[in-house]
Amino acid sequence: LLQKYGYTHLSAGDLLRDERKRPGSQYGELIENYIKEGEIVPVEITISLLKRAMDQTMAANSQKNKFLIDGFPRNEDNLQGWTKTMDGKADVSFVLFFDCDNEICIGRCLERGKSSGRSDDNRESLEKRIQTYLQSTKPIIDLYERMGKVRKVDASKSVDEVFEKVVQIFDKEG
């Protein structure tokens, strides 16, 4: 889907998990501790990984300059770090917000945890992540909503229904 619209998908979480596993990474242990506690990794680390991935993508193909950044910004610190580092270099067209009931979310992540190997796919970490979301991330969603940049998807629906809604959003946004 993203290729059809010319987007490159970058997952902040995947970049952090990959960096955590990278031999010789100066951030590996630090990232692991934050992830296990359901807390947000310091913005400098996440931004540097995102910027590196964006730069590498555009260096390989200058036409690839549209990114869907998954799981970022997660808090005010993330947003300020993004603005400071990327101001004038990248514009946020819209925020794709997958809205889902907490218990459905927990159930899905626990199911994923049976095969994911992720250290945060357990009830204790997930409940911490929900509290972090409510305290830190929801205000960022609200801010973008006031700017008219949020495109909301009811993620409690079936995979096919969610996908169809996402297709409609990308058809409209380009």
For residue 120, give every residue at least 6 positions away whose Cβ sits within 8 Å of its Cβ, in sequence order, or none: 35, 36, 38, 126, 129
Which two tokens mark 87? 């101001």
For residue 143, the tally of other CB atoms under 10 A from its CB is: 15
Give the architecture (CATH level 2) of 1-92: 3-Layer(aba) Sandwich (3.40)
Q: What is the pLDDT of residue 83?
A: 92
Query: CATH number for the 97-173 domain, one of 3.40.50.300, 3.50.30.50, 1.10.1380.10, 3.40.1500.10?
Result: 3.40.50.300
Q: What is the pTM of this model?
A: 0.82
Distance from chain centroid for Cα 129: 13
Instruction: Kindly report, residue by residue over 6-56, the tens digit of the pLDDT.
Output: 999 999 989 999 999 999 998 999 998 998 888 889 999 999 999 999 999
Query: Per-residue pLDDT tens for 151-167?
Result: 999 999 999 999 999 99
- Mean pLDDT of the chain, nearest integer: 93
